[in-house]
């Protein structure tokens, strides 16, 4: 698509006629009539001192038409997650019948702002009240973005996406020799042209890995495979200043660069059945959707269970003998092969700490039941304490009938669960355990080794400072997720989504809520 833009420009460069005559003031509309004879030769409409150019290639107009270009001054809803770099322009080919929509026209828009982020021209889609990105090519030295489109009318603007860094630094690594690079932003399979800004040498690379982690290396745009790095710089340099020009962007995910398929809107796009975004410090609801609707919450139950367990003031290094009878409670609600569990054998000995981490990191249902048994409370009293505890916090729509979340009768609302999360994370042990990417331990008697991985992918790929996390899933509940994140000053926001249709959507929509919340509290 980007290559086609370059080819099309080359084809028409010698053939079209530029608009002539006096331009109106920058604030006024630009209008001209194009005759049938002129249209046949191709035409470039230059408006607002060249800030926007509408390029009509040869053969795209079949008849005479008027062309109008305006600068939109009235307020429009802007996408919350993007940075607007240009004015908003509206163009219209007034004779709709004259335009052959089977052939793309070209638009160039200039801006005067410095940005290291990926820039695209977006058009406003009235049907969805959203801004949609177009296939674009950035001409960085001219601060110009060029795109093709097939509309006779559109509202357009340049936006930069802070989720995608195209100017920064690059280092090198030695793995899988070839024209490859790792990126935290571009999907695998994308082809990028990487320029060394010191000597203007460039290489074309395919993204085949994720990295470097943006929260550890905020200025690193990509890392290059060793042999590729040597083509544009000395390995002794370690890192170099680079600029990226995307040649092909592989879209293998539902959301590309954090933008919903419905486009970029003035507020988050959430398809989950219910969601809430809470400012933990003030208690203010920053965003909500059906936040008081009562729904199954699946394994999100476990946070409340762990808090009640820790309130019994256990000694976490205390040894516990595992009993297979503990996990039999789980099979009242699911088949054995359906339950997330720690594969322990009867009589195996481990510490309460290992059980706690297995429950929070790996969401092991049998580990929760063993903790309940070792708490010193009868199981019924433990569950009663869970209900009383959250009710005292103000979670009035929440009800637990067992401690794991396997029962669909365990219900809450998104708002209730945000309140629960706020209280639960006053405990530093829960804070630490719930964001641990993986946990390893050995049983005390058999010395059998266990390795547990956290199912929250945001812990592995997100640039957010995540300070709390819990996933959940049941057929009846859909995909549920709670994530807590902090800004640089330590101010926390909590996002809860219940009933998402897929795990990918659950992660994407919750991450979007968190970024939205952190932006709001920063203002």
Binding-site residues for substrate sit at: 470
Beta bridge partners, 459, equal: none
Question: What CA–CA distance (Å, rounded) separates 224 from 459?
Answer: 24
The per-residue DSSP string of 247-264 comes to EE----SSSBTTB-TT-B
Query: Which contiguous run of DSSP H or E holds residue 232?
Result: helix 226-232
Neighbouring residues of 306: CB distance < 8 A, sequence distance ≥ 6: 356, 359, 360, 368, 371, 424, 430, 433
CB 242 within 8 A of CB 195: yes
CA angle 431, 435, 438 (to 5 degrees): 130
Neighbouring residues of 210: CB distance < 8 A, sequence distance ≥ 6: 182, 183, 184, 188, 461
Question: What CA–CA distance (Å, rounded) separates 445 from 498?
Answer: 40
CB 404 within 8 A of CB 473: no
Annotated catalytic residue within 299, 385, 413, 469:
299
Taking 3-state DSSP, the helix, strand and coil percentages for the chain, each rounded to the nearest 5, stand at 25, 35, 40
CB 26 within 8 A of CB 49: yes
Q: Is 126 a catalytic residue?
A: no
CB 94 within 8 A of CB 131: no
DSSP secondary structure letter of residue 99:
B
CB 45 within 8 A of CB 89: no
Beta bridge partners, 315, equal: none
- If you count DSSP H runs as helices and E runs as strands, how many of each does the chain have, helices first? 12, 30
SS3 484: strand
DSSP secondary structure letter of residue 399:
B
SS3 288: strand
Question: What CA–CA distance (Å, rounded) separates 44 from 52?
Answer: 10
Query: Which contiguous run of DSSP H or E holds residue 85?
Result: none
Query: Which contiguous run of DSSP H or E holds residue 390?
Result: helix 379-393
Q: Is 299 a catalytic residue?
A: yes
Question: What CA–CA distance (Å, rounded) separates 56 from 93?
Answer: 10
Q: Is 413 a catalytic residue?
A: no
Binding residues: 470
Question: What CA–CA distance (Å, rounded) separates 239 from 227?
Answer: 14
Annotated catalytic residue within 130, 363, 434, 506:
363
Query: In the structure encoding, which two tokens stand for residue 55, read together?
Result: 């390029």
Annotated catalytic residue within 119, 302, 307, 515:
302
Question: What CA–CA distance (Å, rounded) separates 157 from 145?
Answer: 10
Query: In the structure encoding, which two tokens stand for residue 209, read together?
Result: 């890995």
Identify which of 205, 192, 197, 210 has the alpha carbon closest to the alpha carbon of residue 246.
Answer: 192
- Hey, which residues are catalytic here? 299, 302, 363
């Amino acid at each position: 698509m980007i290559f086609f833009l370059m080819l099309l420009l080359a084809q028409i460069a010698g053939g079209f006629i530029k608009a002539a005559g006096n331009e109106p003031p920058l604030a006024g509309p630009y209008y001209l009539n194009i005759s049938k004879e002129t249209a046949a030769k191709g035409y470039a409409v230059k408006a607002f001192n060249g800030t926007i150019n509408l390029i009509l290639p040869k053969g795209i107009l079949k008849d005479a038409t008027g062309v109008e270009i305006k600068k939109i001054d009235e307020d429009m809803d802007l996408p919350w997650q993007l940075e607007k770099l240009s004015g908003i322009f509206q163009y219209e080919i007034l004779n709709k019948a004259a335009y052959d929509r089977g052939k793309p026209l070209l638009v160039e828009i200039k801006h005067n702002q410095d940005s290291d982020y990926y820039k695209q021209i977006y058009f406003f889609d009235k049907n969805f009240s959203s801004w949609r990105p177009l296939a674009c090519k950035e001409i960085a030295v001219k601060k110009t973005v060029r795109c093709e489109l097939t509309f006779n009318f559109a509202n357009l603007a340049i936006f930069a996406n802070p989720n995608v860094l195209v100017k920064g630094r690059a280092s090198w690594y030695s793995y899988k020799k070839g024209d490859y690079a790792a990126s935290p932003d571009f999907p695998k399979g994308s082809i990028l042209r990487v320029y060394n800004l010191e000597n203007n040498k460039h290489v074309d690379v395919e993204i085949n890995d994720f990295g470097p982690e943006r929260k550890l290396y905020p200025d690193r745009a990509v890392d290059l495979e060793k042999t590729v790095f040597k083509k544009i710089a000395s390995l002794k340099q370690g890192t170099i200043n680079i600029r990226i020009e995307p040649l092909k962007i592989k879209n293998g995910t539902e959301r590309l660069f954090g933008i919903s398929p419905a486009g970029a809107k003035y507020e988050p796009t959430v398809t989950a059945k219910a969601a809430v975004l809470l400012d933990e410090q003030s208690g203010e609801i920053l965003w909500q959707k059906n936040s008081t609707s009562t729904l199954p919450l699946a394994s999100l139950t476990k946070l409340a269970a762990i808090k009640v367990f820790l309130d019994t003031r256990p000694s976490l290094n205390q040894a516990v003998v595992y009993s297979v009878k503990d996990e039999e409670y789980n099979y009242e609600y699911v088949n054995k092969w359906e339950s997330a569990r720690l594969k322990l054998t009867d009589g195996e000995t481990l510490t309460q700490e290992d059980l706690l981490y297995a429950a929070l990191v790996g969401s092991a249902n049998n580990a929760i039941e063993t903790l309940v048994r070792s708490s010193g409370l009868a199981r019924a009293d433990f569950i009663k304490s869970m209900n009383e505890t959250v009710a005292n916090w103000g979670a009035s729509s929440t009800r637990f009938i067992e401690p794991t979340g396997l029962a669909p009768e365990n219900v809450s609302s998104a708002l209730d669960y945000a309140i629960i999360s706020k209280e639960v994370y006053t405990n530093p042990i829960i804070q630490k355990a719930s964001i641990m990417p993986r946990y390893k331990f050995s049983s005390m008697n058999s010395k059998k080794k266990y390795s547990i991985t956290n199912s929250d992918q945001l812990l592995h790929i997100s640039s957010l400072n995540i300070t709390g996390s819990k996933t959940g899933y049941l057929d009846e509940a859909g995909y549920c997720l709670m994530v807590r994140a902090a800004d640089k000053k330590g101010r926390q926001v909590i996002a809860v989504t219940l009933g998402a249709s897929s795990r990918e959507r659950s992660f994407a929509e919750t991450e979007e809520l968190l970024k939205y919340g952190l932006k709001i509290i920063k203002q």
